[in-house]
Amino acid sequence: MDVIKNSEEKKYLVFRIGEEEYGADIRKVTTIIEKNMSITRVPRTPDYIIGVINLRGDIIPIMDLRKKFDLPEIEDTEDTRIIIIHIDDILLGLVVDSVVEVVNLTEESIESLSNFSSNLSIEYIFGVGKVNGRIITILNLENLIKLEEI
């Protein structure tokens, strides 16, 4: 990646799963919805694919990130959200505990994972960004989709 781009600021959507904060490139996020619609289970899928929803006429698969990241299940709360991401013709909804905010990060401020430990499998993590002392795990959404095509 070239130098100029590295110092450019990018916006990340920060959301929370359990105690940890995660970030997703906001350009890949289509919309955020509440998790109040009925979800149709799809047979013969991994358990973290909790089903499909109808969002304005589009059928969108929903992935539960808690299940995906092997975290204990919790009941849905008022803050539970589905983040719809759009990558290469694929729409996918990610269930998160809550959506926090949008932050600006330069790419150079995102550290690669080598000096950081996480309970996440490394291919889903793009790096770790720091904002005001908070640590935000930036997800590699492409890999989340690519590696999971069923």
Partner 1 sequence: MDTSKYLEIFIEETKEHLLELNQSLLQLEQNPGDNSMLDSIFRVAHTLKGMASTMGFNNMSHLTHDMENVLQALKNNEIQISTTLIDLLFKCLDALENYLNCIIENGNEGNNDYREIIYELNNLLNGSASSKNINAKPVTNIGTYKTEPQTVKEHPTANMKISQYERNVINKALSMDMNVFKVTVVLDKGCLLKSARTFIVFQTLEKYSEIIKSVPSVEDLEDEKFDFEFSVIVITKENADLLEKELNSISEIEEVIITQIDSSSIEDKAESDSKEADEEGQDILNAVANIIKEKSEAEDEAAATSVTSRKAKTGKTVRVDIERLDVLLNLVSELIIQKTRLEGIDVGKKSQTFTETVEYLERITTSLHDAVMKVRMVPVEAVFNRFPRMIRDLSKELGKQVILTMSGEETELDRTVIDEIGDPLIHILRNSIDHGIEPLEKRRELGKPDAGRIYLRAYQDGSNVVIEVEDDGQGIDIEKVKKKAIEKELLNKELANSLSEEEILDFLFRPSFSTAEKVTDLSGRGVGLDVVKTKIEALGGTVELETEYGKGTRFIIRLPLTLAIIQALLVMVGDEKYAIQLSSINQIINILPEEIKLVQDQEVILYRNKVIPIIRLDKVLNVVKKEDKPKKKLTVVVVKKGDKLSGLLVDSIIGQQEIVQKSLGKFLSGIKVITSATILGDGNVALILDVNYLT
Binding site for partner 1 (CB under 8 A): 37-38, 40-45, 49, 51-54, 56-61, 89-92, 145, 148-150
Q: Which is nearer to partner 1, 19 or 73 (CB)?
A: 73
Cα separation, 128 vs 49, whole angstroms: 26
Residue closest to 133 by CA, chosen among 16, 10, 21, 11: 21
Smallest gap from residue 13 Cβ to partner 1 (A): 20
Query: Pairing relation of β-strands 90-96 and 98-106?
Result: unpaired
Q: Which residues contact 112 (CB under 8 A, 6 or more apart)?
A: 127
Smallest gap from residue 36 Cβ to partner 1 (A): 12
Q: How many residues does the chain have?
A: 150
Backbone φ and ψ of 24, nearest 5°: -130, 135
Q: Which is nearer to partner 1, 58 or 108 (CB)?
A: 58
Q: Which is nearer to partner 1, 14 or 139 (CB)?
A: 139
Smallest gap from residue 12 Cβ to partner 1 (A): 23
Smallest gap from residue 75 Cβ to partner 1 (A): 19
